[in-house]
Amino acid sequence: MTQEMTVDARGLACPIPVIRVRKALESISQGRVVVLVDEQVSVENVSRLARYLHCSHQCTACEGGFRIVIEKPGSGGEGP
């Protein structure tokens, strides 16, 4: 079952956004985690986590910061 979660980490300094995103990704078997951050270093660290966990991700600038969408593939193996 595909799930979607949002992690609002605006105003939080690293490593807190990375920790919250990792917990969110661990809590779903597959799906999407939308992350809101307001610091470039958080974008870089969350993106690094997504790559490490073999999840696709896309970052866009939005009002007040950045929006990162992380796609976690199911264990069925369509992802890398």
**Mean of per-residue pLDDT scores for the chain:** 93
Structure tokens at 4: 């979607």
Q: What pLDDT, in 10s, does the model give residues 29-52?
A: 999 999 999 999 999 999 999 999
Neighbour count for residue 2 (Cβ, 10 Å): 11
Structure confidence by residue, pLDDT tens digits, 4-29: 999 999 999 999 999 999 999 999 99
Number of H helices, E strands in the chain: 2, 4
**Domain boundaries 3-72, corresponding CATH code:** 3.30.110.40
pLDDT at 75 over 90: no
